[in-house]
Structure 1
Amino acid sequence: MKQKERFLFRIQKATESLKTFQPAATPSFEEFVLDTSKEEVLLKELSFSGVPDPPVIDLSCCRVYNEGLIHWRLSEDSLPTDHHIVEFRKLGAEDEEEEESRWSASERVYGCSTVLSDLVGDSRYAFRVKSCRNGVFSPCSPETHDDLLYTVFYTILCTFTLFGFLFNEKCGFSAERLQLSKRRDSVESVAGMSFLLAAERVQTGSYICLDYIIGDTGISHGRHYWAFRVEPNSYMVKVGVASDSKLTEWFHNPRDTSSPRYDHDSGHDSGSEDACFEVSQPFTLVTIGMGRLFIPKASVGAASGDHSSRILPMPQRIGVCLDYDAGRVFFYDADTMRCLYERQVDCSGTMYPAFGLLGGGAVHLEEFITAKRLSYM
């Protein structure tokens, strides 16, 4: 009983002492400072080798001509990758449920571009790219079209044959006013030494004739397509097709340079010079200048004086398709394959790609795509 009383007495004393308890230390942490500078430096030096960032297909550099050339780029802060894989599949298959299983993969690519050579003609394809680092693959290249995830579309337009040719160095063009590149895939129009040496006699004006040059291969059957670039600052360039008989006339019967005349011009503005465009001719040419493409006058049913329907922005690359058997020629924006203009042409002889240059200007033929050695990234 006494032990119980002593125990209760101690509890009472302890309870009373708590009422007046004051801690010896200050409970505030205002003066407490934790130095984490060393840890921050260590964290910044850490390198996490996780999933690589997905590459982005560069549409401005991609093109499909005789083969498929695919370019892509990595994000600026992306770490180096081991290699890339390009996947592609043919569109329009009946079994859409097996879409993923129909992707074909390229060999390892150690750069940011590759050439795909196993594409089937007259088909549409989807392409995507993924990167690999330390055995870990990134997601596929980001979505570029709403109707198909992670893909970019191209149409392989092989319902016609890709026509390969160079400029003909023996066709009779003016070697003084037209300068060919060594590979004969570019031609530039210049004033010429004779004209410049006699320039002191030119005070008020002078007539400069149109100089023609053609491809070194003619077309006598089938459907053929070729593409080229015209320098945007060209003064005037005419491009299209012409028959061998018409070219003989142009090359061997030059106009009188002192008295310029236009083809089919009656001289009295009767409109008879326009009527010839309504019938099939052994040539068809469109005009390029001032960064624009001009469609022949009588080809568009526009009101008199209204030329807006005849003037189009000049494409970066122009494509021409000649259907010899059907007697029709088509002009395309070679980047989008949008048809800009088409008309009937008289294919009674051998037809040639024809180019006429006046003043300053240049034409560059499209190179066939070839697989090249790629540098390691």
Structure 2
Amino acid sequence: MGPAPPPVARVTMAPAFRLTTRPAVSENMAQFTVDFSAERAGLQRLEFLPVPRPPEIDVSRCVVCDNNVTVAWRPADEGDNDDFTGPIKSYELEYRKASHDSSARAAAEACWEKICDIRDSQVTISDLKFDSRFIMFRVRAKNKAAAGEFSEPVAMETRAFNFGFDAATAHAELKVHGDTVTWEPQRVKGHDPRLRAKDCKSSRSATPSPNKAGNRTGRDRFAGESYTVLGDQEMAGGCHYWELRLLADWKSFSVGVAYRSSLGRFDQLGKSAGSWCIHASQWLQNSLAAKHNNRARALDWLLPQRIGIYCDYDNGDLCFIDVDQRRLLHSFKTKFSQPLVPAFTVWCGGITVVTGLQVPSFIDSFLSTSRSLSDLSQ
């Protein structure tokens, strides 16, 4: 038999490099050595592509408008990338909501969301819900070899009016499901007091006088024919905006604002000095009206399906807008003296409220041509 072939050692240096060499063996085979000098020389001749340096977010070019955020940045060593890190192939942006503008304090909050394969030095994120005070952003560059480190996070303020329905105030026949309220009568429709009133006028004594009905406090619900529910957040200053969207089977609704303390359990929106609303109905015939202090003004518009409500508390402006048509339905001009809450009435069908919205940029055009009705404003 011939001599056994010399042993072969397989040495793994890294996942990308796998070398096979023949070791040198001492005469007494007591020691094995491996000579990597040739491989070392080859590795030293390689030119490795550096990882891209972090870009820098350019706050002066970042824009927050209409629930859209545009984030812009400058590449590190702009103009010299080809010499140092090779051409940048793409960018990756991450963002997350935060209640603080400090990245350290926000570290334990929401997880980062990611946008990949950005080919420009800016990106716009659309249709965000602003339900936090800030959104944190960071970006990193990628070349053909690897992705670099993220830039320093930058916080952008995203204030908006957020509220929900105060289910404790809802009429017993209104059911609150998240951001939706539906009318679910406990009796058959034919026995509903609202429907009976179409056939025969009920006496005024059937509904307690507003002067005798105590103010709703604590967990008291609206009752009688006041199918009302209030929002759970107050407005005592500043500008606020939210939208109302109608479910397919709606028949009648009101939307507006009110002083919480001004509404008794049996009070209806627009019939007191402390509530302002528009009322729409497609029961028997279509109608749209602005209501305040038990006075109404018919509005000659088609019934909208999406209504924007804008309230500038400090300036006393309350506007109702057909969002789909970008049309001002009505505006009140007054002087608010107490904190306001959003207020809603639903009879038959349902509504959905959309919050976390910035005041839209188109509001200014409506304020400059506001059609305030003097006989309903005070």
Q: TM-score range by the shorter chain?
A: 0.3 to 0.5
TM (norm. structure 2) is 0.42
Q: Which has the higher helix share?
A: 1
- Kindly indicate whether structure 1 or structure 2 has the higher relative contact order, using CA contacts under 8 Å at least 6 residues apart: 1
Q: Which has the higher strand share?
A: 2
**Larger radius of gyration between Structure 1 and Structure 2:** 1
TM (norm. structure 1) is 0.42
